[in-house]
Amino acid sequence: MPVLVMKFGGTSVATLDRIRRAAKRVGVEVAKGYDVIVIVSAMAGKTNELVGWVNETSPLFDAREYDAVVSSGENVTAGLMALTLQEMEVPARSWQGWQVPLRTTSAHGSARIEEIPTDNINRKFAEGMRVAVVAGFQGISPEGRITTLGRGGSDTTAVAFAAAFGAERCDIYTDVDGVYTTDPRICDRARRLDRIAFEEMLELASLGAKVLQTRSVELAMRYKVRLRVLSSFEEQSDTAGTLVCDEEDIMESKVVAGVAHSRDEAKMTLVSVADRPGIAAAIFMPLSEAGVNVDMIVQNIAEEGRTDMTFSCPIDQVKRAEQALSRAKEKGEINFHDLVADTGVAKVSVVGIGMRSHTGVAAKMFKVLSSEGINIKVITTSEIKISVLIDRKYMELAVQALHDAFELEKA
């Protein structure tokens, strides 16, 4: 029988009533003739509660025991979902990560999936099981310890299972009914997209869209897993939600597919750094080692033999960046006059695969921002994306103006 993967996020399984509603959706797909693999998250709020207990018990915790504790939320949901399906007379059983086994690296708290053998679950399908309910977010290390996959790990689990089992599709059930042209909380004219290309979704996810986790989209694009994002609170339909698919599966793409934003950004500038070969490596290696996620980078010549280096990073990593660069200065690895942090900025981006074959997108974007009196601090581009840093107070205005200018409300 064909395999379908269905993933239910924390809000979709937050209560027993919601688990029953999710189970009914699974039952509908079983009735259509699918063998179904259900990936579940912990009930909404449960993982944060477990993390809080760990921190309260042991602030300098053993990462292996941290994983043992925080992975338990998914185990509870998996068992409850399997019991609910059994009450509906749907042959189902729960699977923890080690039982599959979902094999991962040993990086506790942020492990990466290495292999998902299909033999155990396929054997049970052959024996009459119709639904395998798998605890998301978790696996087993080469040392035999429970591991967790980090933020958004259940999305990654779902896509990985779809790839391993050659699933017809991977349905991601969330509390939103699809992928929108921008955040509907900011722009009331935002429109749900019927389809979006993997590359566009990957850019939007990395630029601040919260619908799908970046790693899951990367995995889907690599293994050509068709993703469907839909709401567990809307009426069940074969045409609901947004399909994330190959560019070739989209008849005609608009030049710009969406506008993304990230509020929690900071701009950091090293003033008057020696302009010499290797200076960029001397700056960004310490930042990398400190775990600072650098995004936009701009280098300007300040005076002869000196340069200013500007980069952006998440606002909660500013102190880490300051410490890393100060230590590098103390060691004599770099020399700069000053380090200036601007924590009042936001990143706004336009994304679209149609930008490959159309000119003038950047000019139009900059003209729109200029007409609204919005000053651009930093610009970066890729083949299908243009991002700018602006003052945070203008972020919503910029998103709305760009959404209108590119007429994204129109199908």
* Binding-site annotation, residues: 7-10, 47, 74, 174-175, 180, 185, 210-211
Residue 253 in contact with residue 354, Cβ under 8 Å?
A: yes
How far is CA 247 from its chain centroid?
Answer: 20
- 130 to each of 39, 78, 107, 135, 168, how far by Cα in Å? 14, 15, 33, 16, 16
How many residues would you count in the chain? 411
Q: Please, what is the end-to-end C-alpha distance for the chain in angstroms?
A: 36
Question: Residues annotated in the binding site for substrate, as ranges?
Answer: 47, 74
Question: Residues annotated in the binding site for ATP, as ranges?
Answer: 7-10, 174-175, 180, 185, 210-211
The rounded distance, in Å, linking the Cα atoms of 340 and 294 is: 15
Tokens linked to 403: 């959404």
Question: Helix crossing, 63-70 with 46-57: angle to 10°?
Answer: 150
The rounded distance, in Å, linking the Cα atoms of 350 and 386 is: 6
SS3 string, the chain, reads CCEEEEEECHHHHCCHHHHHHHHHHHHHHHHCCCEEEEEECCCCCHHHHHHHHHHHHCCCCCHHHHHHHHCHHHHHHHHHHHHHHHHCCCCEEEECHHHCCCEECCCCCCCCEEECCCHHHHHHHHCCCCEEEEECCEEECCCCCEEECCCCHHHHHHHHHHHHCCCCEEEEEECCCCCECCCCCCCCCCCECCEEEHHHHHHHHHCCCCCCCHHHHHHHHHHCCCEEEEECCCCCCCCCCEEEECHHHCCCCCCCCEEEEEEEEEEEEEEEEECCCCHHHHHHHHHHHCCCCCCCEEEEEEECCEEEEEEEEEHHHHHHHHHHHHHHHHCCCCCCCEEEEEEEEEEEEEECHHHHCCCCHHHHHHHHHHHCCCCCCEEEEECCEEEEEEEHHHHHHHHHHHHHHCCCCCC
